[in-house]
Amino acid sequence: MTRIRIKWPKGELIAQLADTPTAKAVVAALPAKSRANTWGEEVYFTLAADVELERDAREVVDPGAVCFWVQGGSLALPYGPTPVSRGDECRLVTRVNVLGKLEGDPRALASVRDGDAIEVTLA
């Protein structure tokens, strides 16, 4: 299983990636640097990976899921409700490809601020 490190000024998390076409495209795009965006309890940032929406793409995911938002060309890391959630669910704005899961507490992402530098590397 491939592991990646997602680092920002106030922290970092390791993610385990499954063996999916999207995960392979993300790994091929590393190392990558971007700027964080926040949307409710979700962090997302652009990542130059050329991917298609996968058959099992979904809108509602578990906290800590590592997702790729195809329409936005971004890695999306939800850790709680977003503005479109119903209750406590992690609902993204559109269907996303789920390519892995964060290790540790995904709520560490709460320290990410809009515009923070994000660095993604192989772990």
pLDDT of residue 117: 98
Token output for 90: 């992690």
Chain centroid to Cα 101, Å, comes to 9
pTM listed for this prediction:
0.96
Per-block average pLDDT, block size 10, for the chain (123 residues)? 96 97 97 98 96 96 98 97 96 97 97 98 97
CB 101 within 8 A of CB 16: yes
Phi, psi of 7 (to 5 degrees): -120, 140
Residue range of the domain that includes 99: 2-122
Q: What's the structural domain count of the chain?
A: 1
Residue 52: Cβ within 10 Å count: 11
What tokens appear for 20 in the block?
A: 């999916």
- Of 12, 10, 11, which Cα lies nearest the Cα of 121? 12
Bridge partners for 117 per DSSP: 35
CATH of the domain at 108: 2.40.100.20
**The predicted structure's pLDDT at residue 1:** 83
